[in-house]
């Protein structure tokens, strides 16, 4: 892409380690994020994809400073997010919002939905008096809820409706960027489609940028123009969604893609069943983080010792020493133990 | 084909605050043949999990299976069993695995003890033999270093490994039927692929029948021989898997397909089903999908039966009347 304006968000070498606590205090830290860099353009959706424990949610939370980074930089529209003091951070949060997988746990059960949506408007002094109620009603209507619901409590809503409330709450402060952390994972498919369409509509109407954190590649394909695939705290492949799904170059992306259960019994794709489990992020493998489970026929000693860096291969960036010869799919009978 | 399970007009009811009883499972009929996988598909609240609990007489009180329901396991009338006879069905003839293996495993016993306990509860073997059997089962479900894992506690295993242990326990007494209720929903997609593969291998090797309960049409496509789609306590469409995916006919099934994002083909705007799933305390009258159905018409105000739409293919929708002869 040849966009002239700088990206809305630029993340550089982000690292987030969690100190081992409790019973294991003094043990090795959990290396949740190990040097992640990417950008999000204006009005664009970038997806962070990976399985549990890959660090994708930590990236989202650290960018908003809901958790403090260990090191690295995040520049949002010219502002160095990690250098801000509390007051400046609060002002910035008007422009950067987050929605969660489970909106129920992020809504106060004793606060009406109207009050929850109004909270941000009042904290940031965006409106006063009757204007607040008018805005809340307009926001509820915008996310497809009856404005009369403002007086109801979260428990009176279904999962899909609660996610709409979560979205209305994020929109209330008129952000330009929203981290969507698995926003449809807990929803039934019919409702998931409603929420995905709503997010797409809001993006078009408001020019929003999304960082869309997800584990489901089919969902990602529906909403994101670019994808960053994470494994054990690192981005292992990055590129335009269609190119990355059409010819993945990192073996992990190949495996992830082949594991997506496709609702079409006539398509017999060779399925790669990865060996073993995800290694512990507090004791990651040396060299390539994926080498313990890799099925690339060309894998060798170099993979065990030397960390591969992201580099252009075909239409994507891939962090694999042998990305040029990554098989499109492994033998269908790869060992399942 | 040997029929191993026959369910007819299953109704499960719970008391409502007003003294009436409501029916989250309301007239469900299906059968299972040896070696076959039947998928029960539906969204939350459709009654698919309660249906599976009813098979083992595990409906939590004050819920109950209503009179007039039939569950036959081979020649056994499951609903007439009591006490010891009922216990011999659970685990011995019907094994069950659930979505979350951590809550079904006992954290203070080793994996080996828990599998051996399952073996000894149903088979006349010594402790040593049971432990041997536990080891063989761990091997069969694809756990690496099975001898070492025999003495591990559940918290020392990953989610995928725990689910394998649950499968080993469910298989300990060599049941004829395995009920798998969302067995991979809590697992990552690459781990899900591993578990589904293990289940499939075991089904083939043992000729076991599998009742797979899931919300995920993708899992159904790869693993089931037949599909029954549930909505609001009833089966609304049933067909062999290839037939159902080639000709989804009930407007609800069609709606589900239109809602699912695809990993291949053109990216189009999704077409969600409008509205929300009805509560079991207030299922709509007539066709239960009517309030959300884009094709509802006058006759939808009457409750439809399962009507033929093709070979081995039936749906609970009046639209079938015009299509019964499709081949």
The tokens 């009930």 sit on which residue?
B250
Residue B160: which of A160, A267, A277 has the nearest Cβ? A277
In chain B, which residue's Cα lies nearest the Cα of A245?
Answer: B263
Q: What is the pLDDT along chain B (327 residues), one digit of tens a residue?
A: 799 999 999 999 999 888 899 999 999 999 999 999 999 999 888 999 999 999 999 999 999 999 999 999 999 999 999 988 998 888 889 999 887 766 778 889 999 999 998 888 888 899 999 999 999 989 888 888 888 889 999 888 888 888 889 888 888 888 999 999 988 887 788 888 888 888 888 899 989 999 999 988 988 998 899 999 999 999 999 999 999 999 999 999 999 999 999 988 889 999 999 888 888 888 999 999 999 999 999 999 999 999 999 989 999 999 998 765 444
Q: Per the structure block, which two tokens stand in for A225?
A: 């123009």
A259 with B158: Cβ contact below 8 A: no
pTM for the model stands at: 0.88
Query: In terms of DSSP H, where are the helices of chain A?
Result: 56-63, 86-93, 103-106, 113-123, 130-142, 159-171, 189-206, 217-223, 241-246, 251-259, 301-305
Cα dihedral angle (B178, B90, B4, B31), rounded to 10 degrees?
-70
Q: Taking the CB of residue A6, how many other CB atoms lie within 10 A of it?
A: 13
Of the pLDDT bands very low, low, confident and very high (cuts 50, 70, 90), residue A336 is: very low
Residues 178-197 in A contacting B (C-alpha not used; CB under 8 Å): 188-194, 196-197
What would the pLDDT profile of A39-97 be if each residue is shown by its tens digit? 999 999 999 999 888 999 999 999 999 999 999 999 999 999 999 999 999 999 999 99
Residue of A206, A243, A205 lying closest to A224 (CA atoms): A243
Helix (H, G, I), strand (E, B) or coil at A213: strand
What would the pLDDT profile of A245-278 be if each residue is shown by its tens digit? 999 999 999 999 988 888 888 876 667 778 777 8
Which residues are bridge partners to B235 per DSSP? B230
CA angle B207, B209, B210 (to 5 degrees): 130
The tokens 């069609």 sit on which residue?
B254
In chain B, which residue's Cα lies nearest the Cα of A258?
Answer: B190
Interatomic CA distance for residues B232 and B289, integer angstroms: 8
Q: What percent of chain A has pLDDT over 90?
A: 71
Helix (H, G, I), strand (E, B) or coil at A56: helix
Partners of residue B260 in chain A, C-beta under 8 Å: 189, 193, 218, 263
Q: Which secondary structure element, helix H or strand E, spans residue B205, and what is its range?
A: helix B189-206
CB-based contact (8 Å) between A85 and chain B? Answer: no
B144 with A276: Cβ contact below 8 A: yes
B263 with A200: Cβ contact below 8 A: no
The whole-number average pLDDT for the span A172-182 is 95
Q: For chains A and B, what is the number of CB pairs under 8 angstroms?
A: 132
CB-based contact (8 Å) between B255 and chain A? Answer: yes
Helix (H, G, I), strand (E, B) or coil at B111: helix
A274 with B190: Cβ contact below 8 A: yes
B271 with A193: Cβ contact below 8 A: yes
Q: Taking the CB of residue B9, how many other CB atoms lie within 10 A of it?
A: 12
Task: Supply the Cα-derived Rg of chain A in whole angstroms.
Answer: 21
Partners of residue B245 in chain A, C-beta under 8 Å: 263-266
CB-based contact (8 Å) between B100 and chain A? Answer: no
């Amino acid at each position: 892409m040849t966009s002239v304006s700088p990206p809305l968000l630029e993340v550089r070498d982000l690292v987030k380690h969690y100190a081992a606590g409790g019973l294991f205090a003094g043990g090795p830290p959990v290396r949740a994020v190990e040097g992640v860099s990417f950008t999000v353009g204006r009005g664009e959706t970038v997806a962070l994809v990976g399985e549990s424990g890959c660090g994708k949610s930590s990236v989202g939370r650290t960018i908003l400073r809901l958790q403090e980074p260990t090191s690295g930089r995040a520049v949002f529209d010219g502002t160095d997010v990690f250098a801000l003091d509390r007051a400046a951070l609060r002002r910035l949060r008007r422009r950067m919002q987050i929605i969660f997988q489970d909106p129920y746990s992020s809504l106060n059960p004793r606060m009406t939905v109207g009050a929850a949506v109004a909270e941000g408007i009042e904290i940031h002094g965006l409106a006063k008096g009757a204007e607040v109620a008018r805005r809340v009603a307009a926001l509820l209507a915008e996310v497809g809820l009856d404005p009369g619901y403002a007086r109801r409590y979260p428990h009176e809503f279904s999962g899909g409706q609660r996610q709409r409330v979560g979205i209305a709450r994020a929109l209330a402060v008129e952000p330009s960027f929203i981290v969507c952390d698995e926003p449809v994972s807990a929803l039934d498919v019919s409702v998931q489609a409603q929420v995905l369409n709503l997010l797409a509509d809001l993006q078009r109407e408001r020019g929003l940028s999304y960082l869309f954190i997800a584990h489901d590649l089919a969902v990602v394909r529906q909403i994101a123009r670019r994808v960053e695939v994470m494994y054990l705290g690192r981005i292992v492949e990055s590129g335009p969604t269609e190119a990355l799904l059409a010819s993945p170059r990192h073996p992990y992306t190949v495996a992830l893609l082949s594991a997506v259960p496709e609702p079409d019994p006539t398509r017999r794709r060779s399925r790669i069943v990865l060996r073993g489990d995800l290694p512990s992020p507090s004791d990651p493998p040396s060299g390539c983080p994926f080498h313990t489970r890799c099925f690339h026929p060309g894998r060798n000693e170099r993979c065990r010792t030397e960390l591969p860096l992201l580099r252009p291969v075909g239409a994507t960036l891939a962090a694999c020493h042998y990305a040029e010869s990554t098989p499109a799919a492994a033998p269908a009978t790869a060992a399942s133990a | 084909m040997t029929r191993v399970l026959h369910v007819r007009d299953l109704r499960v009811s719970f008391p409502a605050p007003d003294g009436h009883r409501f029916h989250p499972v309301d007239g469900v009929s299906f059968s299972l043949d040896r070696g076959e996988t039947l998928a029960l598909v539906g969204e939350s609240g459709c009654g698919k999990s309660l249906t599976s609990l009813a098979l083992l007489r595990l409906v939590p009180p004050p819920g109950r299976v209503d009179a007039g329901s039939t569950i036959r396991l081979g020649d056994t009338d499951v609903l007439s069993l009591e006490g010891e006879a009922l216990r011999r069905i659970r685990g011995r003839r019907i094994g069950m695995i659930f979505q979350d293996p951590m809550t079904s495993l006992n954290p203070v016993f080793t994996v080996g003890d828990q599998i051996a306990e399952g073996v000894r509860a149903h088979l006349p073997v010594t402790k040593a033999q049971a432990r041997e059997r536990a080891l063989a089962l761990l091997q069969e479900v694809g756990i690496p270093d099975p001898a070492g894992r025999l003495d591990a506690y559940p918290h020392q295993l990953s989610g995928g490994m725990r689910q394998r242990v649950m499968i080993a326990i469910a298989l300990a007494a060599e049941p004829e039927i395995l009920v798998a209720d969302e067995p991979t929903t809590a697992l990552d997609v690459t781990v899900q692929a591993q578990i589904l593969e293990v289940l499939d291998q075991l089904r083939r090797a043992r000729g076991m029948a599998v009742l797979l309960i899931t919300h995920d049409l993708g899992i159904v496509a790869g693993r089931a021989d037949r599909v029954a789609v549930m909505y609001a306590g009833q089966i609304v469409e049933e067909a062999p898997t290839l037939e159902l995916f080639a000709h989804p006919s009930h407007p609800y099934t069609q709606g589900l397909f239109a809602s699912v994002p695809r990993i291949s083909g053109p990216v189009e705007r999704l077409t969600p089903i409008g509205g929300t799933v009805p509560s079991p305390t207030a299922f709509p009258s007539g066709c239960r999908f009517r309030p959300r159905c884009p094709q509802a018409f006058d006759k939808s105000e009457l409750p439809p039966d399962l009507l033929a739409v093709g070979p081995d293919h039936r749906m609970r929708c009046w639209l079938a009347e015009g299509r019964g002869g499709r081949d």
